[in-house]
Structure 1
Amino acid sequence: MHISVYLLLLASAALAVLGARLAGHLAPAAVVRTLTGLSVIATAAMAWGLTALTVGGLGRTDAFQDRAHSNPVALASDDPVPVVLGVLAAGLLAGGLLRTFTVVRRRRAALRALAPLRKLPAAGDLVVVEAARPDAYALPGRPERIVVTTAMLRALPGGEHAVLLAHERAHLLHRHHLYAAVAEATAACNPLLRPVRDHIAFHIERWADEEAAHMTGSRPLTARSLARAALAVADAAPCGPQAALAYLAHKVTARVGALRAERPTSHWAVALPAAVVTALTSLASAEVTYDLARCLHVLHLS
C-alpha cells in the first residue's frame, strides 16, 4: 500500500481529536449528531486502512503465496507492506471487531433483561415501579416505556414531574438510544474514540434537558428538577439499567449549570477542520480502495 493507507489511519485519529473539540461549540443536538457521524467515519476509515494493510502484508506470506501462486516480486513492488505490519493490522482489526461484537451483545442482553417492564400496567407510556430509591429512565423498543420509581415521584414536587417526563420522552422521541449504541460500538472498535463517546453520552442528556426546558417553558424549573432529583439520591450512583437512558446518568452538576445559562447555539465555523479532514479521508479511502483492488489483482493473476 502507498502512503494513502497511512493517511487514512492518521485521519481516523485526527477525527477523534477534532470531534472531541467540537463539543463546546455546538448545541447539544448538533453535538450528538455531528460526533456520531464523525465516529462512524473515523471507525470506517480505521477499519478500511487496517483491512488494506492486512491484505497487503499477509498476502506476502509463504502460506498465502503457495495458495495464490502469485509473483512475490511483482507483489513486493506493487504493494510493499511488511509482513509484520500485516500481522499487526490483522490483530488490531480482529481485536476491534471482537470488542464491538461484545458491546453489541451486552446491550442487546441488557435490553432483553428489561422486557418484563414492558408488561407492567402503564398509564400511556409511563410505568411506575415501587422502589425505595429515586430513579427514572427511558426504555426504548416496542412498546416504548418511561420507567419511574415511586421514590422519585415522592422526591419531586408535582410541577417538576413534567420536567422529568419531558426529559425521558425526548430520549424516546429522538431515538437517543441509537446514538448511544453507535457511540459505544465505534469506541469499542476504535479506542481513540472513547473521549468522543463520553461527549456523546453527556450531550444526549443535555439534548433531553434542553427539550424538557423547551416543553415546560422554564429553564430554571428544569434545573431545579434535575438538582432536586440528584440530591434525592445523594452521592450514590443511580440504579438505571445500562441499556436505558437514566435521568441522572451523566454529570448532573454540569447539566444544572448549563440550564442556568442561556440556551446554547451552534457555531459551525469551528467544524471546518473536521469537514476538511472528512473530505481528505474520502479521497484517501478512494485511493486505498484502488490500491487494494490492484493488490488483489496481483495476488490472483500474477
Structure 2
Amino acid sequence: MYFTVYVLLLAPAVLVAAGPTVSRYLAPAAAVRVLTCLTAVAAGATVWALTVLAVGGLAHTAQVQAYAHSSPRRLAAADPVPYGFGVIAAALLATALVRLAATRWHRARELRALDAVRARPAAGDLIVLPADHADAYALPGRPGRIVVTVGMLRALPVDERAVLLAHERAHLTHHHHRYAAIAQAAAALNPLLGRLRDEIAFGVERWADEAAAEAVASRELAARSLARAALATTCLPGPPPALAYLRHRIAARVGALRATGPTSRRRRVWPAAVAALATAVALADATVALVRCLNTLLP
C-alpha cells in the first residue's frame, strides 16, 4: 500500500490547523462554506484511510487467502500493510461509524422533542413561547419556525427585536442547520474535527449576525440587540438548540459587529486550499492502491 494512505490519516490535523486562518481572513458566509468543505474532506480522508488499511491488513488472513486463491508473495508486493494495522484500522472504523450513528440518533431525538414546539400556533414563521427566561432559536424543517420566548421579547425594545428576528430568519433562509449537521457528523467520525465543528458553529452565528445588521441597516443596533439579549439571561434551560441566538461566543460576536464590516482576503487562505488539494491527491492515490489490492485478491 502506498504511503499516501498514511498521509490521509494526518490530513485532518493539517486541515484543522488551517481552520483559524480561514475564519480570520474570510467573511463569515465564505468562511462557513470553506470550513464545511475542509471538514467534509477531512472526515472523508479519515474514513477512506481506515477502510484502505482495514482491507489491506485483513487481506492477509487465512480465510481471505483461501477464498481469493492469491499468492501471499504477490499480495505482499501489492499491499505491504501489516495484519495488525488492518485490525486496528477496522476497529477504529467501526468505532467511528458507531459514533456517527449515535450522533444522528441523538440529533433526531432532539428534533422529535421539538415537534411539540413546531405544532404550536404560529404568526407566519414566528412562535412565541410563554416562558419567562430569555431565549430565541431557529427551528429548521418543514415548515421552518422562529421560536422566541416572552421573556426575550420583554428584554428587547421593538427595534432590537427586529434584529433578533432577522438573525433567526437568516438561519432558516441560508439553511445553516445543514452546515452544522455536516460538522457534527464529521466530528463524530473523527473527534479531532471538533475544533472545525466549533468554528462552523460560531461562523453560522456570525453569518446570521451580519445578515441581521444588513437587514436593519445598522451594525451598532445589531450589536446592542445581541448584548442586551445576553445580559437578560445567564443560564438557559435544557439542551442547546443548534441555531440559538445566545449560545456562541457572545463577546466576540458583539465586538465583530462593532467593528467595520468583514471582507474576504482570499489570498491569505492559500495554505488551506493547498492542504485540501494534497488530500484529494492522496485520496486518489490510495484508491488506486486499494483497487490494485482488490485485483490481487479476486479469484
Task: Give the TM-score normalised by the residue count of structure 1.
Answer: 0.96
Matched-pair contact (CA < 8 Å) for 1:136–1:240: no
**Aligned-partner SS, 1:249:** coil
Matched-pair contact (CA < 8 Å) for 1:20–1:195: no
* Matching of residue 174 in structure 1 with residue 174 in structure 2: yes
The residue identity in structure 2 corresponding to 1:267 is R
How far apart are residue 169 of structure 1 and its match? 0.1
Matched-pair contact (CA < 8 Å) for 1:219–1:259: yes
Residue matched to 1:211: 211
Residue matched to 2:76: 76
Cα 1:92–1:27 shift into 2, 3 Å: same
Residue matched to 1:286: 284
Identity %, equivalent residues = 57
Q: String of CA shifts for 1:182-229, please: whole Å, max 9, x gaps.
A: 111101101121111111101111111110000001111111111111
- Paired with 1:16 and 1:71, the residues of 2 have a C-alpha distance of 41
How far apart are residue 66 of structure 1 and its match? 2.8
The one of 250, 273, 283 equivalent to 1:252 is 250
Gap regions ≥5 residues in structure 2: none
Matched-pair contact (CA < 8 Å) for 2:219–2:258: yes
Residue matched to 1:24: 24
How far apart are residue 14 of structure 1 and its match? 1.2
Residue matched to 2:104: 104
Residue matched to 1:264: 262
The residue identity in structure 2 corresponding to 1:51 is T
Cα 1:197–1:59 shift into 2, 3 Å: same
The residue identity in structure 2 corresponding to 1:52 is V
**Aligned-partner SS, 2:298:** helix
**Structural mapping, 1:221-236, within 5 Å:** 221-233=221-233, 235-236=234-235
How far apart are residue 102 of structure 1 and its match? 0.9
**Aligned-partner SS, 1:246:** coil
How far apart are residue 242 of structure 1 and its match? 3.7
The residue identity in structure 1 corresponding to 2:249 is K
Matched-pair contact (CA < 8 Å) for 1:103–1:188: yes
Gap regions ≥5 residues in structure 1: none
How far apart are residue 19 of structure 1 and its match? 2.3
Matched-pair contact (CA < 8 Å) for 1:8–1:49: yes
Task: Give the TM-score normalised by the residue count of structure 2.
Answer: 0.96
- Paired with 1:188 and 1:20, the residues of 2 have a C-alpha distance of 20
**Aligned-partner SS, 2:286:** helix
- Paired with 1:106 and 1:82, the residues of 2 have a C-alpha distance of 36
Is the deviation greater in 169-178 or in 262-271?
262-271
**Aligned-partner SS, 1:250:** coil
How far apart are residue 251 of structure 1 and its match? 0.8
Is the deviation greater in 11-20 or in 141-150?
11-20
CA RMSD of aligned residues (A): 1.3
The residue identity in structure 2 corresponding to 1:300 is L
Matched-pair contact (CA < 8 Å) for 2:19–2:199: no
**Aligned-partner SS, 1:181:** helix
Cα 1:61–1:243 shift into 2, 3 Å: farther
- Paired with 1:123 and 1:166, the residues of 2 have a C-alpha distance of 15
**Aligned-partner SS, 1:147:** strand
